[in-house]
Amino acid sequence: MKRLLVLGGGTAGTMVVNKLRDRLDRDEWRITVVDHDDRHIYQPGLLFIPFGGYTAADVVKPRQRFIPDGVHFIRGELDRVHPERNEVLLTDGQVLGYDYLVIATGTTPRPDQTPGMLGRHWRSRIFDFYTLDGATALAEALDRFDGGRLVVHVTEMPIKCPVAPLEFAFLAEAYFRHRHMRDRVEIIYATPLSGAFTKPVAAAHLQSMLDHRKIAVEADFLVERIDNDIPALVSYDGREVPFDLLVTVPMNMGGDYLARSGLGDELNYVPVDKHTLLSRTYDNIFVLGDANDIPTSKAGSVAHFSVEVFVGNFLQHVAGQPMTGSYDGHANCFVESGDGKGLLIDFNYDTEPLAGSYPLPVLGPFGLLAENVRNHWAKLAFRWMYWHLLLPGRPIPLPAQLSMAGKYRPGDPTHN
């Protein structure tokens, strides 16, 4: 019997086992999933918890609820992979063999990587919102906040959902305005990037949104440490950004077990072919979701679209056939902008986010780089789609490959 071992029961790992269970002969394949707990978190929902939009009950469900019958679930901590022996060692000493391995253990915020971040102000003046505990604690802190300087900060790229810090800044601005205290709050957005975003068209649009909301940007800010006495962010070039309340996105890293296994790069991400997600070193290891080094967003849409391509490729690969599917880096993200509105960006490895409509030309119904109510409600509705369609591996009528239909570059004279 052939053994498929999936490390990680998050978005990518759960989709994989749901899509492959009925495609692989049960008499010939044993599928096993390993994760350290039985708590599946809907990560896009963490953004709303600090503002009272969601509670923990809205974003957490048991992992095993989404693991299909016939797939074995093991709860355990990963110690290392022995790829030469086709084995995975758990910290309790259990050894799991495999014929094919899917690594889908994601990426994790690491506040311990920045000196001073876990100092005396952690969870009193310094908060994250990429974890359930952090988002819940931040909700209480925002409720208590009576004014001063709020700094929204990104430590280093790449991070999960790179637009989420911008979304937090937009939502915070609206939150304080609705509480009639916006004039008492200065908002700073500190980023290691040269501006609000990495691609010119979207960067210009998002920067104008920040300007309109009077959110100042501290660009090219590479934090060296946090001075807990001032308190302030301190960059490598000596700049200081004092804060009364710091909402930070710590450095994100892949699992430490990948470093111990000799599989990861300096951030513990596994190098793969960016079109097939196959390891560059081992012909029986695929790496999906946030755990690999592909040059696109670490976002749920990437897991979704890449898994769609992976499934067909995997079936060809195990049959000894060439893989014909090619993932193009397609990603899209709804960006909450406050006041019940949002915008959408849609892009891939070669095409930056452009204006237009999605998924259909003219009809949309979603606006690209355009704030509207439909985009906001679509983001909220996606939570239902995530639990009931995406994780169970049911079809979602969106193309895995980027389509240029309905897109245009702002200022293009040929666009009517």
Reported as a single tens digit per residue, the pLDDT across 196-209 is 888 899 999 999 99
Q: Which of 405, 368, 357, 365 is nearest to 381 (CA)?
A: 365
Superfamily of domain 2-107+254-318: FAD/NAD(P)-binding domain (3.50.50.60)
Q: Given this model, what pLDDT does residue 197 score?
A: 86
Helices and strands, counts by H and E, the chain: 8, 25
Domain 111-251: CATH class, spelled out: alpha beta
Q: Which pair of tokens denotes residue 237?
A: 């070039």
> CA 374, CA 358: separation in Å to the nearest integer?
11
Please report which confidence band the pLDDT of residue 413 belongs to, taking 50, 70 and 90 as the band edges.
Answer: low
Confidence of residue 258 (pLDDT cuts 50, 70, 90): very high
- For residue 349, report the phi and psi dihedrals to the nearest 5 degrees: -55, -40
Cβ neighbours of residue 220 closer than 8 Å, sequence gap 6 or more:
192, 193, 194
Mean pLDDT of 158-184: 97
Q: Among residues of the chain, what percentage have pLDDT more than 90?
A: 94
Single pTM value for the model: 0.96
Identify the band that residue 115 occupies on the pLDDT scale cut at 50, 70 and 90.
very high
- Closest to 72 (Cα-Cα) out of 94, 42, 57, 91: 94
User: Residue 363: what pLDDT?
Assistant: 80
**Band (249; pLDDT cuts 50, 70, 90):** very high
Dist. CA 278–CA 255, nearest whole Å? 18
388-401 pLDDT, tens digit each = 999 999 988 889 99
CA atoms within 13 A on the CB side of 24: 26
Residue 412 pLDDT > 80, yes or no?
Answer: no
8 Å CB contact between 414 and 356: no
Which range among 126-140, 197-211, 212-226 shows the weakest confidence by mean pLDDT? 197-211
Distance CA 45, CA 129 (A): 10
Could you tell me the residue ranges of all domains in the chain?
Answer: 2-107+254-318, 111-251, 331-408
Question: Percent of the chain at pLDDT above 70?
Answer: 99
Contact (Cβ atoms closer than 8 angstroms) between residue 298 and residue 117: no
Nearest Cα to Cα of residue 139 among 42, 216, 60, 56: 56
CA distance 312 to 296: 21
User: Which pLDDT band holds residue 374 (cuts at 50, 70, 90)?
Assistant: very high
**Residue 358 in 3-state DSSP?**
strand
CA 287 to chain centre: 15
Question: Would the pLDDT of 414 be above 70?
Answer: no
* pLDDT in the model for residue 24: 97
pLDDT of 415 strictly over 60: yes
Of 83-87, 160-164, 183-187, least confident by mean pLDDT is 160-164
Residues in CB range of 178: below 8 A, 6 or more apart: none
Can you list the positions of beta strands (E) in 182-244? 185-190, 216-218, 223-227, 232-235, 240-242
Q: Work out the mean pLDDT of the chain and round it to a whole number.
A: 96
| Omega before residue 50 within 30° of 0, cis | no
Q: β-strand 29-35 against 71-75: which pairing, if any?
A: parallel
pLDDT value of position 319:
97
- On the CB side of 286, CA atoms within 13 Å amount to 26
pLDDT score of 300 more than 70: yes
3-class DSSP assignment, residue 341: strand
pLDDT for the residue 416: 55
Closest to 344 (Cα-Cα) out of 167, 214, 200, 124 = 167
Q: Backbone phi, then psi, for 111, in 5-degree steps? A: -65, -20
| C-alpha–C-alpha distance, residues 241 and 191, integer Å | 12
Q: What pLDDT shows up at residue 198?
A: 84
pLDDT tens profile 259-288: 999 999 999 999 999 999 999 999 999 999
Taking the CB of residue 26, how many other CB atoms lie within 10 A of it?
Answer: 12
Q: Is the pLDDT of residue 411 over 90?
A: no
- Would the CA dihedral through 148, 191, 297, 264 be positive or negative? negative
Half-sphere exposure in the Cβ direction for 20 (13 Å, CA): 29
